[in-house]
Amino acid sequence: MRKRTILACIMLNLLLGTGPALGHFGMIIPSDSMILQGEDRTVTLALSFSHPFEGQGMELVKPKTFGVLINGKRQNLMESLNETQVMGHMAWSAQFKIKRPGVYIFYMEPQPYWESAEDTFIVHYTKTVVTAFGDDEGWDQGVGLEAEIIPLSKPYGLYTGNVFQGIVKLNAKAVPFAEVEVEYYNKNGKFTAPTEYMITQTIKADQNGVFTYAAPISGWWGFAALNPANFKFSHAGQKKDVELGAVIWVKFHDWQ
């Protein structure tokens, strides 16, 4: 009996405890990252929370903040949100009409998400950048989010194989040797990773908080820099840790 009990415990640990964990990603995916003359001026944005490569969605309740930074000024877009579903779970969509040339940085702060498997709250400050009609200034501006990735490469107009660089910041200060998770938005489940270790890749920033990544295929890539908050939230009468994620979504294009 004792041997059977030990064997059962070992099997349970193998089932639950092996293999890398899937990455969580806040997501803002626009219908287009570069609006050119003659194209549709209305950008549709999908806001969700998921494991993007595996296509496993999670519930995203209505965000605490959703807006756009234009020429250094924030615009509240909360009233434009409509409930929808992404990957079979609650998500949000919005439409934004581009009226003039510029760089548009869309961002959201979600409500804290309780992750029981990790015994922690998750807050992913998420953004993406859209450029319109040839304007090329301001793509490296910070929104002023508590956790944020400031791009050092233009986050649009990237070819597959180009490197993307960014600075990880927490409370407006660079985070030395920050850990950054990288994951591909495997829309429609077209691709299969060779092993579980290839689903969420992990890279480290340097001493200045700068990270570098070269995308191997075209599409949307998410970068999530994760850091512990210096505060806690309550859950079931107990104080729990909070994970702050700085997330940016960048699209790479094939060479034509």
Of the candidates 158, 146, 138, the residue with the CA atom closest to the CA atom of residue 68 = 138
Residue owning tokens 């990957």: 87
Q: Is the pLDDT of residue 1 over 80?
A: no
Write the pLDDT tens digit of every residue in 162-207: 999 999 999 999 999 999 999 999 998 999 999 999 999 999 999 9
Sign of torsion, CA 12 17 18 21? Answer: positive
Tell me what percent of the residues of the chain surpass a pLDDT of 90.
Answer: 83
Q: How many CB atoms lie within 10 A of CB 8?
A: 10
pLDDT at 217: 95
Span 86-137, pLDDT tens digits: 999 999 999 999 999 999 999 999 999 999 989 999 999 999 999 999 878 8
How far is Cα 169 from Cα 120, in angstroms, rounded to an integer?
21
Compute CA distances 256 → 31, 160, 181, 212, whole Å.
Answer: 20, 11, 29, 24
